[in-house]
Amino acid sequence: MRVELLPSSVPTNAGRASPQFLSSYLIGDSLVIDGGSVGLLADVDRQLAVRHVFLTHAHLDHVASLPFLIENAYTPGPDCIEVLASPAVLAQINADLFNGRTWPDFLSLSTPQNTFMRATPIEPLQTVERAGFRITPVPVSHSGDTLGMIVDDGSSCVAFAADTGPTDQIWQELATRPTLTAVFLECSFPNSMEDLATKTGHLCPRTFATQRARLTDRVKVFAVHRKARYADEIARELAILGLPNVEPVTPGLPYDL
Ligand SMILES: [Zn+2]
Ligand SMILES: [Zn+2]
């Protein structure tokens, strides 16, 4: 399974890694998890190839460029991008993004002959099939209705744990997946901000380690969602912990998992 975290910053400091502000994972060519950075892809043909966008939750860093993606991918006719999310998250993006003020109300504007966007509700632990992948949403511990996503292509399985504090159900579910190869796990704050991380449903290196311990060592774990200001500090603290098979993700690098 080919997975790429799509970059979200304009590189200005030659030789320095660009910070990551937004979240979108491209899986293959046509499946995306979260609409943070996908609408910023400079190669618009790659945006046109996207058919299905699964949303883990409606926080801005996970939906920010979804309006641009929908606009960029629009082609007159019945085909359009499908957005899949919990009913609560679909209601939030309708009220807050596609409301006719912030951006056009693409759902109301859509007719069967000319669609801008299609919204499909998904439910926890109800697997859906799209683009040759089986996607299973699993609740995690973040704001309200956040769903992690387990993606299975029949030979390997990769999990996207979304934003989450210490959690349980997704680790139980992944324990039943012998083909699990990799997990993208957030580590938003440094250890000095553990209280804030816990209050806001996020991880710091210390709590990240407790979650990593729920997986076997052979599973690759990518540390993602580091707050840009603390990214280096978090990477140093993770390195000191010496956790097995953990590495900070590289945005823009396709991984074959
Ligand atoms: Zn969030
Ligand atoms: Zn986030």
Structural domains in the chain, CATH included, are 2-8+20-250+252-256 (3.60.15.10)
Lowest mean pLDDT among 89-93, 140-144, 217-221: 140-144
In this predicted structure, what is the pLDDT of residue 14? Answer: 66
Query: 3-state SS of 83-116?
Result: EEECHHHHHHHHHHCCCCCCCCCHHHHCECCECC
> What pLDDT, on the 0 to 100 scale, is given for residue 80?
95
Ligand 1 centroid – CA 164 distance (Å): 8
The alpha carbon of 114 and the centre of ligand 1 are apart by a number of angstroms equal to 33
pTM: 0.97
The tokens describing 215, both together, are 């997986």
**What pLDDT does 231 receive?**
94
pLDDT tens by residue, 159-214: 999 999 999 999 999 999 999 999 999 999 999 999 999 999 999 999 999 999 99
pLDDT grade for 11, boundaries at 50, 70 and 90: confident
Nearest listed ligand to the Cα of residue 37: 2
For the segment 140-164, the average pLDDT, to the nearest whole number, is: 96
Stretch 119-133: mean pLDDT: 98
59 has a pLDDT exceeding 90:
yes
CA of 23 to the centre of ligand 1 (A): 10
- Other Cβ atoms less than 10 A from the Cβ of 76: the count is 9
Ligand nearest to the CA of 21: 2
Comparison of pLDDT for 71 and 15, the residue scoring more: 71
Q: Which pLDDT does position 15 carry in this prediction?
A: 65
Q: How far is the CA of 163 from the centre of ligand 1 (A)?
A: 5
